[in-house]
Amino acid sequence: MIINNSFCEAKGASLRNFNEDILMDSINGALALREHIEQIIDMIYDDDFDGIWFMGIGGTWASAMQAEVHVRGRSRLPIYCENAAEFLTTGNRKFTENSVAIISSVSGSTREILDLCDRIHEIGGKVFSFVDTPDSPLTKRDKSDYLIVYPKNEQLKFFMAADYLMYRNGEFDDYERFYENLENSLAEALAETEELTDPWAYRYAEKQAAFHEARPDMPHYFVGCGNQWGAVYSLGMCYWEEQFWIRCRTVQAGEFFHGMLEIIDRQTPVTLFMGEDEQRPLAERVADFLPRICENYAVIDTREFPLTGIRPEYRGRISHLVMRAVNNRIEAYMEMFLRHPMEIRRYYGRMKY
Amino acid sequence: MIINNSFCEAKGASLRNFNEDILMDSINGALALREHIEQIIDMIYDDDFDGIWFMGIGGTWASAMQAEVHVRGRSRLPIYCENAAEFLTTGNRKFTENSVAIISSVSGSTREILDLCDRIHEIGGKVFSFVDTPDSPLTKRDKSDYLIVYPKNEQLKFFMAADYLMYRNGEFDDYERFYENLENSLAEALAETEELTDPWAYRYAEKQAAFHEARPDMPHYFVGCGNQWGAVYSLGMCYWEEQFWIRCRTVQAGEFFHGMLEIIDRQTPVTLFMGEDEQRPLAERVADFLPRICENYAVIDTREFPLTGIRPEYRGRISHLVMRAVNNRIEAYMEMFLRHPMEIRRYYGRMKY
């Protein structure tokens, strides 16, 4: 993280809103869903499917994009992603009675997602749902053909489904070894990441909040790619815009050089997320260019974290989870410095639209 | 266009940078490529392809997205879109030696697009290129297996290829009738649109330029969907950011309600593009909501244009071209009011990166 280049202490940093036990239980509980996910995917895989579609809207659309890009370079399986609102209007003629949608919902009551299930059932396809909220509408038999109820860890759940699909298709020999590694070390590695990044996140948030005070109209620019792109998309829209009311512009690192760069000047606030997956070179190109034209940038590079216990060859596969851990810390302090509780909304839940 | 609700005159509006003859020749020339496009698509279609991929980067990626969404609800053909930078890093295992990429380039020398051709040829796939610039690197035999050299009209060229693919696949019975209608009336309908929208565009640009002067950090929000989404993406990045140096945030209308709405307040500048394709309801939902929370918005609705000669059932298929005509007028006056010539760049072509 170029903003400070070290994990030295910051006065005031205190691991705000961090409970290591809860975090680790949550991650390990998600990993423990594996057997159940495998049973469901076995049923789908053995059922002669013609397409598997990660679908979502807003934050879950972001996760769907992450799952799809994870699979894209690794598998010949007909795995796609699709935005729920677009599916409900444009539709997709490649989605048939032999197709399966994999979806996720925190509330289990998102309007478009419920409509999506009905549309899929009209076509004759099937729905595999991950739902956070027990007994919500999405958990009912008329909506979900396959169901797992467990809170949080949306990306992890989607990736577990995708990884087992690839394993069944002979495209992920390492599958067992990889998940053993995660079961042994992921929760601790992510908790460690939050602890290590906490002082830096405190200072970063302090700086962003002060800048926002001085120039409230200015959007924050987030750049990312690969399995980070969905994370960046969701970070800008679902966190900074929705929960902090700070303007944002997100861009895929590969697209950065095709127009958007012209709007970046010395004081434009830019945060670049660099992961360790195969799209890293696209982010590196931005990292090389940015300091020449901008002084108000931060580069968050997953490579700087030890991720103790995680085998080096698997680091890229969890870059998006590392980034979420860093953002957990940033958000805790943004909320504090902005004095803007993350749960307040101007419009959502306040009015009908 | 709610900003004025009529096509009344504005003092100073003068059809700046508009030449009806050149515009009409350009469009009719593109439509006259049809026979050549059909010959190429016939070769591809008869050659047992397993996938056809509209690919691009920046503005051409936007056009690729427009072509894909146009096909998505209409065809079972394996037609996809793909970002060139992502293909060069992540790759796509579904792209094989029997796959074909359809690409477009103005310069014929975009770095990622040339690399893309090489990568596709390594795989054994084929490239069908539309190139604006004769004798550019992309026109060479080692890059393009099928080639059409003709300037401008990128969307039209992509849609002609997509439409004929669907026709060959028995999914567009109306094909001949539709293109006859375009050949007889499209150029005139688009010229008419530019003429009708000119006074409004003058006032819109005057207002945006004044607002930008007063609040230069504030991004302009562009909302669109369906075959407009690519247009909106490109408008924000390739025009307002790159050519006017005005900050932008673009959002798919269906995603607007999943986070981004919270950042819109009374004075936030928002322009909503409403087309007449199947995703129109997503834009209508935004149009209904926006006036309740924002006074600084404009709705540009293709329905308000007569499009003389175009059969009503085909209007939705050309909504993105109508929007480009409107934006031509807006850009002519933005350039004038901002005193910012569209050809200047801070970084592109000025430094290496």
| Tens-digit pLDDT profile for residues A21-31 | 999 999 999 99
B256 touches chain A (CB under 8 A): no
Is residue B293 within 8 A of residue B300, CB to CB? The reply is: no
Rounded to the nearest angstrom, the minimum Cα separation between B348 and chain A is 8
Query: How open is the CA angle B145-B149-B152, to the nearest 5 degrees?
Result: 130
Is residue A108 within 8 A of residue A136, CB to CB? The reply is: yes
pLDDT at A87: 98
Mapped onto helix, strand or coil, the DSSP state of residue A156 is helix
Inter-chain CB proximity A86 and B254 less than 8 Å: yes
- For residue B39, the Cα-to-chain-centroid distance in whole angstroms is 25
Inter-chain CB proximity A249 and B252 less than 8 Å: no
Show residues of chain A in contact with B278, CB under 8 Å: 89-91
Mean pLDDT of A10-32: 91
Is residue B248 within 8 A of residue B220, CB to CB? The reply is: yes
Inter-chain CB proximity B92 and A72 less than 8 Å: yes
Residues of chain B with pLDDT under 70: 1-11
Mean pLDDT of A204-227: 98
Question: Residue A171 pLDDT more than 80?
Answer: yes
pLDDT at B7: 44
Put simply, the chain A residues between 295 and 314 with a CB less than 8 A from any chain B CB are none
Which chain A residue shows the shortest CA-CA distance from B87?
Answer: A73
pLDDT at A99: 98
Is residue B79 within 8 A of residue B135, CB to CB? The reply is: no
How does DSSP classify residue A103? Answer: E
Rounded to the nearest angstrom, the minimum Cα separation between B76 and chain A is 5
Closest-CA residue to A314 (of A164, A172, A154, A170): A172
A211 touches chain B (CB under 8 A): no
Which chain B residue shows the shortest CA-CA distance from A344?
Answer: B262
Mean pLDDT of A116-145: 98
- The partner residues of A102 in beta bridges, in order of sequence, read A54, A128
Mapped onto helix, strand or coil, the DSSP state of residue A18 is coil
Closest-CA residue to A2 (of A217, A304, A320): A304
Inter-chain CB proximity B263 and A282 less than 8 Å: no
pLDDT at A10: 58
pLDDT at A177: 98
Rounded to the nearest angstrom, the minimum Cα separation between B80 and chain A is 10
pLDDT at B13: 80
Q: State pTM to two decimals.
A: 0.96
What is the ipTM, given to two decimal places? 0.95
Show residues of chain A in contact with B94, CB under 8 Å: 72, 76, 78
Q: Give residue A13's pLDDT band: very low, low, confident or very high (50, 70, 90).
A: confident
pLDDT at A4: 45
Rounded to the nearest angstrom, the minimum Cα separation between B263 and chain A is 5
Can you list the domains of chain A with their CATH numbers?
34-149 (3.40.50.10490), 186-338 (3.40.50.10490)
Show residues of chain B in contact with A278, CB under 8 Å: 89-91
Structure tokens belonging to residue A221: 């620019």
Q: Give residue A353's pLDDT band: very low, low, confident or very high (50, 70, 90).
A: very high
A56 touches chain B (CB under 8 A): no
